[in-house]
Chain A
Amino acid sequence: MTPEQPTPDHLLSILVRDEPRVLTRITALFGRRGYNIKSLSVGTTEHPGVSRMTIVVSGDRGVVEQAMRQLEKLHDVVKIIDHSLEKYVDRELVLVKVAINPETRVEVRQIAEDFRSRIVDVGRHALTFEVTGDEGKITAFIEQLRPFGILETMRTGRIALTRGSNADIPAHVYHPGETQTLQPVLSAEPREERAREVPNLF
């Protein structure tokens, strides 16, 4: 018997039209196929009417590719970026509340400083830190604090952007030219004409 391999994580960015139920549509698609979403962050973008989601899903390559192709069919989805295919920066914001006592107080503060974490709340028996960083940094930070007694944590979920210019975003999403304005959402133009690219397979 081979020990079960942990399924790898995939980091996807999905640009969507900012419309009611768009979040439901996307999460339902994952849910129906039994893919577990590990983290999900959504926010607005520089373009009115377009939101950006960062989703972390676990599953093998085939599973994620199938999910992406199903997502691409959704009318609300403008573009999907699979960050495993390119260079990217990612961040997560985490709040960590750690138990302290007079003996551990200084040591805990020192660890936080080493991680460039900020104290956002001070209590007699607990300190709350804010830390941002990539997954490795956050995991390391939490592991360092764990022996002191972590009372609560809250993570925003990962967010990511590709490195460099917006070269990955096809011109039919952004009009060429200086302003790079997005086409009006729900434009009369057939969606197929600004269709997203399907992974190289074809």
Chain B
Amino acid sequence: MNGAKALWATLANHGISTVFGYPGGAIMPVYDALTFYPEVRHVLTRHEQGAAHAAEGWAKATGELGVCMATSGPGATNLVTGLADAMLDSVPLLAITGNVASHLMGTDAFQEADITGITLPITKHNYVVRDVAELPRIVAEAIRIARSGRPGPVLVDIPKDIQLAPYHGDIPAPHARPEIPAPSPESIERACELLRGAKKPVMMVGGGSLDAAAEITALARAWDIPVITTLMGLGTFPASDPLWLGMPGMHGSVAANRAISEADVLLGLGLRFDDRVTGRVSGFAPHAAIIHVDLDAAEIGKIVRTHVPVRGDAAQAARLLAEGAQPPARAEWRAQLDAWKARTETPSHWGAGSAVKAVVDRLRPDDLLSSDVGQHQMLAAQLARFEKPRRWINSGGLGTMGFGLPAAIGAGMAEPGVRSVVIAGDGGFQMTAQELATLKMYDIRNVKICIINNSYLGMVRQWQELFHEKRYSEVWLGDSNPDFVKLADAYDVPAYRASTAEELPGAIDAWLADPRSALLEVVVPHEHGVFPMVPAGAALSEMIETEPARPGAPTPEASEA
């Protein structure tokens, strides 16, 4: 057995069933050895970025490790965006890269890049394997690090000679997941004390709570506390529950942002108070005592002052907090929240908002919904009604355009029986559009792509409209966009198009009914904003609730013509 075979044997031993990757000179022994391990499926994407995002999609949907693979130099550097994405969104990811032979490392050899140096700040940890005897143990350790504690990406760089060197050792079995220390009883008691006295409490739940949905739902109901789910936490609390207030932050709901601004106690679980969530930090939850539950001690007190830090697992903490429940009557707070909630607007006129709503309204609770990055992403986050966690696959921390399609492919491959819908913009879709070939190659049948085509880099255009006096600089795509239906056709992916509100329902029906993966292009008016919006640097209470009238500009209705 050589190093390359030992690698596959270790992955197989760890139950890795699927690896997304792209071969090249420095990783050829690994691809050669792959032919001996039919139990592991390798998915050839069309770009290493696609491989990384597909592995992320897999991990985000299942909570299990995603694995991607690339050759040295350009292959490895193409993984970088995906690794940074996984780092910010705490996604368990293992990246394997080949590298030039050990004696060539550091000599600027052909296709050499110092990938461990490059990825140092965007991985949880990384390794260069210097001795084949260490390879399987390092891979097993990398997997453990990626999955344990606060998950994240780990990279293992394997020089070509190490892949070829004979290996005589054992193949390691998976490490047991370490026990997570329970939150201290004092911190739980202090938190309960605050909640008992709270007149206007609110709970805020982030991506670190995705696997604590049941406990969090029980906690909220036990204490009768309204729940806000961040962009990363959507689905952790059922949208159909009357206690749900929506998403906070820049494009959050009126109810969520008002509730934060008014709250006297804010209980945050598994979230990191991203600046897109807090707005201006000094204006964030100005009246609230903050209880922050997080596994990662470094997150506590990092951004916002914390009155009661609770270090621990969200599920455990939620269970302990629920046990102490003594909810006082808070009729006034409920009435106030209901009034704010009534302000939630549903898009009425034809535009990106109503198009996204028509699509997300058709989702079933088990369906996966991925998004790319831009206006369509925020619209999907605002309008979709998630009942379960791990159904919303999106790039929250890094905001990576090009994420949507490959992530939907990865998620869809992890759950082949489930519909994997992706909403993308005309801009971001083109960053990884070549992954349509992956759909064809593996005859993937459950990926449904919806492109919201507004002919603009819409989100940037919106900022230019609001904050740069409508100087639209380098955001117009209309003259150069491909015919998306023809593009899909070229990849043998069936495609549909709708350009009016009347056409849309029929097109959605046909698109979803197609037995294969299919694309739907929805052509929408060019200038349509996402609101509510908290301008960057403003406090949540300074939210612009509805789209401002723009004098002289075509109304969405007029531009339909």
Instruction: Say whether A associates with B.
Output: yes
Check if B178 sits within 8 Å of A192, measured CB to CB.
Answer: yes
User: Residue of A at shortest CB range from B302?
Assistant: A66
Q: Is A87 an interface residue (CB 8 A)?
A: no
The verdict on A69 contacting B310 (CB below 8 Å), with A25-B120, A190-B148 known, is no
CA distance A191 to B125 in the complex (A): 13
Q: Which of B145, B179, B310 contacts A202 (CB 8 A)?
A: B310
Chain B residues whose CB sits within 8 angstroms of the CB of A195 once the complex forms: 181
CA distance A142 to B296 in the complex (A): 44
Q: Which of B140, B183, B297 contacts A198 (CB 8 A)?
A: B297
CB pairs A–B below 8 angstroms (27 shown):
A21-B116, A21-B117, A21-B120, A25-B120, A62-B301, A65-B301, A66-B301, A66-B302, A70-B298, A73-B124, A73-B150, A73-B296, A74-B125, A186-B137, A188-B141, A188-B172, A190-B144, A190-B175, A190-B178, A191-B148, A191-B178, A192-B148, A195-B181, A201-B301, A201-B309, A202-B183, A202-B187
Size bin of chain A's contact surface: 20 to 34
For B26-57 the 0/1 string (1 means CB < 8 A from A) is: 00000000000000000000000000000000
Check if A190 sits within 8 Å of B176, measured CB to CB.
Answer: yes
What is the distance, in angstroms, from B223's C-beta to the closest C-beta of chain A? Answer: 22
Q: Which of A73, A190, A202 contacts B311 (CB 8 A)?
A: A202
Q: Which of A3-50 contact B (CB under 8 A)?
A: 20-21, 24-25, 28, 32
Check if A28 sits within 8 Å of B148, measured CB to CB.
Answer: no
User: Residue of B at shortest CB range from A75?
Assistant: B125
Q: Is B327 an interface residue (CB 8 A)?
A: no
Q: Which of A61-83 contact B (CB under 8 A)?
A: 62, 65-66, 69-70, 72-76
Q: Which of B120, B128, B149, B300 contacts A192 (CB 8 A)?
A: B149
Chain B residues whose CB sits within 8 angstroms of the CB of A186 once the complex forms: 137, 141
Q: Is A114 an interface residue (CB 8 A)?
A: no
Check if B141 sits within 8 Å of A20, measured CB to CB.
Answer: no
What is the distance, in angstroms, from A163's C-beta to the closest C-beta of chain B? Answer: 27
What is the distance, in angstroms, from B156's C-beta to the closest C-beta of chain A? Answer: 13
Q: Is A193 an interface residue (CB 8 A)?
A: yes
What is the distance, in angstroms, from A186's C-beta to the closest C-beta of chain B? Answer: 7
User: Residue of B at shortest CB range from A195?
Assistant: B181
Chain A residues whose CB sits within 8 angstroms of the CB of B137 once the complex forms: 186, 188
What is the distance, in angstroms, from B61's C-beta to the closest C-beta of chain A? Answer: 26
User: Residue of A at shortest CB range from B175?
Assistant: A190
CA distance A21 to B105 in the complex (A): 15
Q: Nearest 4 A-B pairs (CB), nearest first?
A: A69-B298, A192-B178, A202-B311, A190-B178
User: Residue of A at shortest CB range from B172?
Assistant: A188
User: Residue of A at shortest CB range from B154?
Assistant: A75
Q: Is B555 an interface residue (CB 8 A)?
A: no
CA distance A55 to B163 in the complex (A): 38
Q: Is B326 an interface residue (CB 8 A)?
A: no
Size bin of chain B's contact surface: 20 to 34
Check if B298 sits within 8 Å of A202, measured CB to CB.
Answer: no
Check if A75 sits within 8 Å of B124, measured CB to CB.
Answer: yes
CA distance A188 to B128 in the complex (A): 18
Chain B residues whose CB sits within 8 angstroms of the CB of A21 once the complex forms: 116-117, 120
User: Residue of B at shortest CB range from A73?
Assistant: B298
What is the distance, in angstroms, from A145's C-beta to the closest C-beta of chain B? Answer: 41
Check if A75 sits within 8 Å of B145, measured CB to CB.
Answer: yes
For A165-202 the 0/1 string (1 means CB < 8 A from B) is: 00000000000000000000010101111010010011
CA distance A55 to B179 in the complex (A): 32
Chain B residues whose CB sits within 8 angstroms of the CB of A73 once the complex forms: 124, 149-150, 296, 298
CA distance A74 to B150 in the complex (A): 12
Chain A residues whose CB sits within 8 angstroms of the CB of B311 once the complex forms: 198, 201-202
Chain B residues whose CB sits within 8 angstroms of the CB of A70 once the complex forms: 298
CA distance A164 to B301 in the complex (A): 33
Interface centre among A25, A65, A69 (most CB of B within 10 A): A69
Check if A72 sits within 8 Å of B121, measured CB to CB.
Answer: no
Interface centre among A21, A66, A190, A193 (most CB of B within 10 A): A190
CA distance A66 to B298 in the complex (A): 6
What is the distance, in angstroms, from A104's C-beta to the closest C-beta of chain B? Answer: 50
Chain A residues whose CB sits within 8 angstroms of the CB of B128 once the complex forms: 20
User: Residue of B at shortest CB range from A19?
Assistant: B127
What is the distance, in angstroms, from B427's C-beta to the closest C-beta of chain A? Answer: 30
Q: Which of B118-161 contact A (CB under 8 A)?
A: 120-121, 124-125, 128, 137, 140-141, 144-145, 148-150
Q: Is B282 an interface residue (CB 8 A)?
A: no
What is the distance, in angstroms, from A83's C-beta to the closest C-beta of chain B? Answer: 20
Chain A residues whose CB sits within 8 angstroms of the CB of B181 once the complex forms: 195
Chain B residues whose CB sits within 8 angstroms of the CB of A72 once the complex forms: 297-298
Q: Is B184 an interface residue (CB 8 A)?
A: yes
User: Residue of A at shortest CB range from B128?
Assistant: A20
Check if A24 sits within 8 Å of B117, measured CB to CB.
Answer: yes
10 more A-B contacts (CB under 8 A) besides A28-B121, A69-B298, A186-B137? A186-B141, A188-B172, A190-B144, A190-B175, A192-B149, A198-B297, A201-B297, A201-B300, A201-B309, A202-B183
What is the distance, in angstroms, from A65's C-beta to the closest C-beta of chain B? Answer: 8
Chain A residues whose CB sits within 8 angstroms of the CB of B297 once the complex forms: 69, 72, 198, 201-202
CA distance A180 to B172 in the complex (A): 28
CA distance A83 to B137 in the complex (A): 35
Chain B residues whose CB sits within 8 angstroms of the CB of A25 once the complex forms: 120
CA distance A21 to B297 in the complex (A): 24
User: Residue of B at shortest CB range from A198?
Assistant: B297
Q: Which of B148-204 contact A (CB under 8 A)?
A: 148-150, 172, 175-176, 178-181, 183-184, 187
CA distance A73 to B298 in the complex (A): 8
What is the distance, in angstroms, from A173's C-beta to the closest C-beta of chain B? Answer: 16
Chain A residues whose CB sits within 8 angstroms of the CB of B120 once the complex forms: 21, 24-25, 28
Check if B184 sits within 8 Å of A202, measured CB to CB.
Answer: yes
Chain A residues whose CB sits within 8 angstroms of the CB of B301 once the complex forms: 62, 65-66, 201
CA distance A188 to B140 in the complex (A): 9
CA distance A69 to B299 in the complex (A): 9
What is the distance, in angstroms, from B471's C-beta to the closest C-beta of chain A? Answer: 33
